[in-house]
Chain A
């Protein structure tokens, strides 16, 4: 089974803090994705990566950056957290040979005070 893990289930940070959300997958997937999910807005793509050290902006990259130093690990960084970044953050991975099926981690509920 594909396993995608995220570093925290719940996180509370203060405005202006630098926040790191980490995601690890154990299936050697090339593609990794970061989404945020908000009520009424659905899943929105923040950043994605096709390979180590590669990154592409998604639909809402403002205020975020990412890092992918190793194939299995994809980190989302909030350089200076703001209250409007309070959300559920979901990481996913997929395989180029897997027909674009994405597998999700458990999610991190981030609250910025």
Chain B
């Protein structure tokens, strides 16, 4: 079956540091890939997505590239801010497309210190 593995947290960084959160997946076919973010006290929000190999999703300074050869979708940001503190979830959809039954990783808690 489908699965997503992401680095465990918490990840603690200083403001303006470079961020990488690793995500690898197992799926049959070619799923779409997503990063969701959950800020304290709020619901899950889509951060970015990529629907095919070599696509790069980007939003709010975050980027992730769909790497089919390494089955990865690592999240990066060049300079993090305190406001980026949140839990980040990597997810994939069934290769049929859309958002049917997303499979999520366990989440990575990111803490940015001033």
Q: Are A and B subunits of one complex?
A: no
Give chain B's interface residues, CB within 8 Å of chain A: none
Give chain A's interface residues, CB within 8 Å of chain B: none
